[in-house]
């Protein structure tokens, strides 16, 4: 059976940065990239807010650069998924999608998160044809058009505000009679002239011949004044939160009520000694590439300290 000192699961900014630091610390890390090599940023066009790229960088390119940088110091970067883990006894064991079992002295979980969808069949039907879960990635295609953003949290407000700078009109489809977002974010969207908030409204479906041309929505469903109508839009943006990819670890690792991995204290340690977490899988709040990269570095340094204490 293969034995590794430091196994990293996931290949977003957190995973690759952990691999970079762990390889430079001579931990000979092995990284499993998972189903979507490069993670969420490979779905993006230009990343403008990662320090060090004054003119922005293509999301795919940035992930290839991070991968290359980790490989330069000897990180063993593998395609494939980890499908099972056993953290009940040391060394921990993980199983790959090829059925191989690996023993790991320490593990860094950097499996990220995925955007939530409403679960409507039309979201799949119009994927890439008017439906998006990332305004900053796809907003550009909707310049001077009419779009809707679903959600009433900080992300929805931020995305609506961003889109308002590009689009003719932005509707926010909010299921409650109020926004959940922070006061500052609420003020921002309320003050934008081309944002209209549709409270107590839910989406029933989408329509259109060639891509999205509108949404079927319902106002105050189940109430005496319930009203169903069609809202003409060119783009439909989901901003209803993210689901952390933590299900694989739930039997061993403490998760919060949303499924995010709980960290023990100041560092990236989980409740299982030697198992660390980094990036969006343990971050219900910021969900930013630069922060994921930073926590990836922290997790590798924590793994190094843990292994050195064990004399490994
Ligand atoms: P939130 O969970 O805060 O908000 C999700 C929103 O989507 C809520 O309005 C919720 O409605 C709505 N929603 C959820 N499911 C559905 C559904 N099935 N149908 C319709 N609406 C739905 O997620 P965010 O992504 O906005 O934020 C996550 C975290 O990140 C928060 O802590 C936030 O503060 C933070 N954040 C901070 C930012 C900043 O400070 N600049 C920017 C972005 C995020 P309801 O209210 O009814 O539950």
DSSP notation for 1-55: -EEEEEEEE--SHHHHHHHHHHHHTT---EEE-BSSTTGGGGG-SEE-SSTT-TT
Q: Which atom of ligand 1 is nearest to the CA of 118?
A: 18
What pLDDT is stored for residue 36 in this prediction? 87
Strand boundaries in 67-109, DSSP class E: 76-78, 82-86, 92-96, 101-109
**CATH for 117-238 (3.40.50.1460, 3.50.50.60, 3.40.47.10, 3.10.300.10):** 3.50.50.60
Q: Which of 138, 234, 283, 302 is catalytic?
A: 138
The residue extents of the domains of the chain are 2-114+242-310, 117-238
Task: Answer yes or no: is pLDDT of 49 > 90.
Answer: no
Strand boundaries in 129-187, DSSP class E: 131-132, 146-150, 169-173
Whether 282 is catalytic = no
- For ligand 1, residues with CB inside 6 Å are 118, 150-156, 158, 175-176, 180, 240-241, 284-285
Question: What is the average per-residue pLDDT within 47-56?
Answer: 89
Q: Which atom of ligand 1 is nearest to the CA of 285?
A: 30
**Ligand 1 centre distance from Cα of residue 311 (Å):** 44
Upstream peptide bond of 135 is cis (omega within 30 degrees of 0): no
Q: Who contacts 78 (Cβ-Cβ below 8 Å, separation ≥6)?
A: 30, 31, 32, 33
If one counts every other C-beta atom within 10 angstroms of the C-beta of residue 144, the result is 9
Whether 134 is catalytic = yes
pTM over 0.95: no
Q: Residue 169 is encoded by which pair of tokens?
A: 């009109």
Whether 6 is catalytic = no
Task: Answer yes or no: is pLDDT of 138 > 90.
Answer: no
Question: What is the average per-residue pLDDT within 45-73?
Answer: 91
Q: Could you check whether 2-114+242-310 and 117-238 share the same CATH topology?
A: yes
**Ligand 1 centre distance from Cα of residue 241 (Å):** 5
Task: Answer yes or no: is pLDDT of 238 > 90.
Answer: yes
Question: What is the average per-residue pLDDT within 130-152?
Answer: 93
CATH superfamily, domain 2-114+242-310, is FAD/NAD(P)-binding domain (3.50.50.60)
Per-residue pLDDT reduced to its tens digit, 80-100: 999 999 999 999 999 999 999
């Amino acid at each position: 059976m293969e034995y590794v000192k430091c196994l990293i699961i996931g290949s977003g900014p957190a995973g690759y940065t952990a691999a970079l630091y762990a390889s430079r610390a001579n931990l000979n890390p092995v990284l499993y990239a998972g189903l979507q090599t490069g993670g969420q940023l490979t779905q993006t066009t230009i990343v403008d807010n990662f320090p060090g790229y004054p003119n922005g960088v293509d999301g795919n390119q940035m992930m290839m650069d991070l991968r290359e940088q980790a490989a330069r110091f000897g990180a063993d970067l593998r395609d494939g998924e980890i499908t099972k883990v056993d953290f009940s006894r040391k060394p921990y064991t993980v199983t790959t999608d090829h059925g191989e079992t690996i023993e790991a002295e320490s593990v860094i979980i950097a499996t990220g998160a995925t955007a939530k969808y409403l679960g409507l069949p039309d979201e799949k039907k119009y994927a890439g044809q008017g439906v998006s879960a990332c305004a900053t990635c796809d907003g550009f295609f909707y310049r001077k058009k009419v779009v809707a953003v679903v959600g009433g949290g900080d992300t929805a407000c931020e995305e609506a505000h961003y889109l308002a700078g590009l689009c003719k009109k932005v509707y926010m489809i909010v299921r409650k009679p109020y926004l959940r977002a922070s006061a500052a974010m609420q003020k921002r969207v309320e003050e934008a002239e081309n944002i209209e908030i549709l409270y107590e409204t839910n989406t029933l479906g989408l329509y259109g011949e060639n891509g999205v041309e509108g949404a079927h929505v319902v106002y105050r469903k189940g109430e005496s004044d319930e009203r169903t109508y069609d809202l003409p839009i060119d783009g439909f943006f989901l901003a209803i939160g993210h689901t952390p990819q933590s299900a694989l670890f739930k039997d061993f690792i403490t998760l919060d009520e949303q499924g995010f991995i709980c960290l023990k204290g100041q560092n990236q340690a989980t409740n299982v000694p030697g198992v660390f977490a980094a990036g969006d899988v343990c971050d219900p709040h910021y969900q930013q590439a630069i922060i994921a990269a930073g926590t990836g570095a922290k997790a590798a340094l924590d793994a190094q300290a843990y292994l050195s204490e064990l004399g490994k």
